[in-house]
């Protein structure tokens, strides 16, 4: 049996391979199934509490100094007094006496902007007031989704006030506002050029202010490496020397473990948490090496799932479900049942329990029979 409760990615693949009774040539297929279940399938099931993280953003202050002149049908807005902020590319602009809100395509000079679409309506603008504001902001790169009913909040009266996330139909019919003010709701609106998710404030923020947001994060594929060989580990020691290794690629956040393959693989693996990395050929373990000393040997460094330990087997059973879609395995129904059981049990702990009321005694449970 393995010496740790966690199941690193390499062991996950090996367990699925053995249980699914598939050949070594299917390892890449198995790894793909494991990765899909870990990064996509299980995170999509529920708003798991262990995937909830927080961040913040700062809104820009509305700008409305000076006046605008431009003709209908053109795309260049000219400021007759004052200057535009250089950072306003991608913002919105609303002109007094004109119903539409326009996108700022580019900041051209301190006194001119290119907008889209061209100015609507039959009236030219001459010395018109305007409002220049930013309505969308990038979220964290690992953003997946907001928990219901929304994740953006402001602090008021010592409490978080959620700005609910609205759907498109409600946004168009009821929520949309082209005038900056105090945001009351939000909407997800695609991504920026770096791939970051954008959130729109409704109405757009009038003032510079810090807003917090909670979100369900995405998960990256798990890391593993076996490049090179181990050149020495002393029995009872914590220092590992390698030859041709690339230890500096290893994460040192406590999620990566090392094993010497000759001492066991799959459920017989003996894993040691990596504490720190000094160079490509030198690292330090978190606990002493309990096997006999090693002077040369193959090794594996693998990352464990960023799930609670009790959910690691769910990745195994979920991958077996996917793997057996195109195989005639009589155990397919068992894998499906075990996968559902793991997720159901986890939901009671990592979804329902934090939000349910504590029971005063068994008689308070509605399932209790008198």
Extents of the domains making up the chain:
52-59+136-217, 68-133
Q: What is d(CA 49, CA 216) in angstroms, rounded to the nearest whole number?
A: 8
Average pLDDT of the chain to the nearest whole number: 89
CB contact at 8 A, 305 and 315: yes
Residues paired with 130 in a beta bridge: 95
Q: Is 305 helix (H, G, I), strand (E, B) or coil?
A: coil
140-165 pLDDT, tens digit each:
999 999 998 889 999 988 899 999 99
Q: How confident is the model at residue 331 (pLDDT cuts 50, 70, 90)?
A: confident
Q: What is the pLDDT of residue 328?
A: 64
> Which candidate, 131, 137, 68, places its Cα nearest to that of 101?
131
105-124 pLDDT, tens digit each:
999 999 999 999 999 988 89
Instruction: Identify the burial level of 142 via C-beta atoms within 10 angstroms of its C-beta, where 0-12 means exposed, 13-18 middle and 19 or more buried.
Output: middle
Q: Is 33 helix (H, G, I), strand (E, B) or coil?
A: helix
- 66: tokens are 């000076």
> Which candidate, 332, 300, 328, places its Cα nearest to that of 319?
332
Instruction: Identify the burial level of 236 via C-beta atoms within 10 angstroms of its C-beta, where 0-12 means exposed, 13-18 middle and 19 or more buried.
Output: exposed
Q: What is d(CA 151, CA 213) in angstroms, rounded to the nearest whole number?
A: 5
56-74 pLDDT, tens digit each:
999 999 999 999 999 999 9
């Amino acid at each position: 049996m393995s010496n740790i409760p966690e199941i690193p990615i390499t062991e996950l693949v090996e367990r699925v391979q053995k249980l699914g009774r598939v050949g070594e040539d299917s390892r890449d297929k198995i790894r793909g199934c494991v990765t899909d279940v870990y990064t996509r399938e299980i995170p999509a099931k529920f708003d798991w509490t262990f995937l909830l993280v927080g961040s913040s953003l700062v809104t820009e202050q509305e700008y409305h100094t000076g006046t605008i002149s431009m003709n209908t049908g053109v795309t260049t807005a000219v400021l007759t007094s004052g200057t535009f902020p250089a950072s306003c590319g991608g913002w919105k602009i609303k002109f007094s006496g004109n119903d539409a809100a326009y996108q700022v395509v580019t900041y051209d000079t301190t006194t001119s902007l290119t907008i889209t679409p061209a100015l609507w309506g039959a009236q030219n603008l001459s010395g018109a007031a305007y409002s220049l504001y930013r309505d969308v902001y990038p979220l964290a790169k690992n953003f997946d989704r907001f928990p219901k009913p929304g994740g953006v909040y402001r602090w008021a009266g010592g409490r978080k006030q959620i700005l609910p996330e609205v759907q498109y139909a409600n946004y168009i019919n009821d929520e949309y506002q082209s005038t900056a003010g105090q945001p009351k709701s939000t909407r997800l609106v695609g991504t920026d050029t770096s791939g970051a998710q954008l959130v729109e404030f409704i109405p757009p923020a009038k003032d510079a202010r810090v807003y917090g947001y909670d979100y369900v994060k995405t998960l990256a594929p798990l890391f593993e490496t076996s490049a090179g060989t181990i050149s020495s580990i002393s029995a009872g020691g914590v220092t590992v020397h390698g030859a041709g290794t690339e230890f500096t690629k290893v994460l040192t956040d406590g999620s990566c473990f090392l094993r010497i393959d000759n001492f066991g693989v799959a459920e017989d693996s003996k894993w040691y948490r990596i504490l720190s990395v000094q160079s490509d050929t030198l690292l330090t373990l978190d606990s002493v090496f309990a096997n006999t000393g090693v002077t040369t040997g193959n090794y594996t460094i693998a990352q464990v799932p960023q799930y609670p330990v009790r959910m690691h087997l769910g990745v195994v059973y979920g991958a077996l479900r996917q793997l057996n879609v195109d195989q005639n395995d009589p155990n397919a129904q068992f894998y499906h049942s075990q996968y559902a059981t793991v997720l159901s049990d986890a939901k009671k702990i990592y979804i329902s329990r934090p939000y349910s009321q504590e029971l005063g005694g068994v008689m308070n449970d509605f399932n209790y029979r008198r």
